[in-house]
Amino acid sequence: MPKLAIIFGLILDILGVASFIATGATHFTALIPSIFGTIIFLSGILAHVRPDLRKHAMHVAAVFGLLGTLGGLGMGLPRIGALMAGTAQRPVAVVMQISMGLIALVFLALCVKSFIDARRAKPENYGK
């Protein structure tokens, strides 16, 4: 899971920088995916370097995956109608919000699967 956190963190970082460039480098809010990406990336690095902190680091990454999903899809999906109609005020922002939400959703789903698999693999360690 730490390797996936590193990869998804980098993807979100790239998305943030690309959206910042696409907006003409004038809207700093376009870097929001990079904030989420950096935290997920650093959580993956921490889990990789310090195996004793892996569980905590991956939970932090999952929380930011959840927040990225809620924020991205929560902001982007209500504006998808305007985007399709060509009347969206900032179409690049809408596309980037939905993209961030979907990327974070895939990461979150992988985190949940990993947590479930870990729990099934070591049931004697839970509930203590």
Structural domain of 120? 2-125
**For 40-64, how does the pLDDT look when each residue is reduced to its tens digit (9 = 90+)?**
999 999 999 999 999 999 999 999 9
8 vs 105: CA distance, rounded Å? 11
For 32, 42, 58, 63, 96, the CA distances from 45, given in Å and listed in that order, are 20, 5, 10, 16, 25
pLDDT at 127: 47
Q: By three-state DSSP, how is residue 17 classified? A: helix
pLDDT digits (tens, 9 = 90+) for 80-107: 878 877 777 887 888 888 999 999 999 9
Number of domains in the chain: 1
| pTM flag (> 0.85) | no
Class of residue 80 by CB neighbours under 10 A (exposed 0-12, middle 13-18, buried 19+): middle
Cα–Cα dist 39/85, whole Å: 35
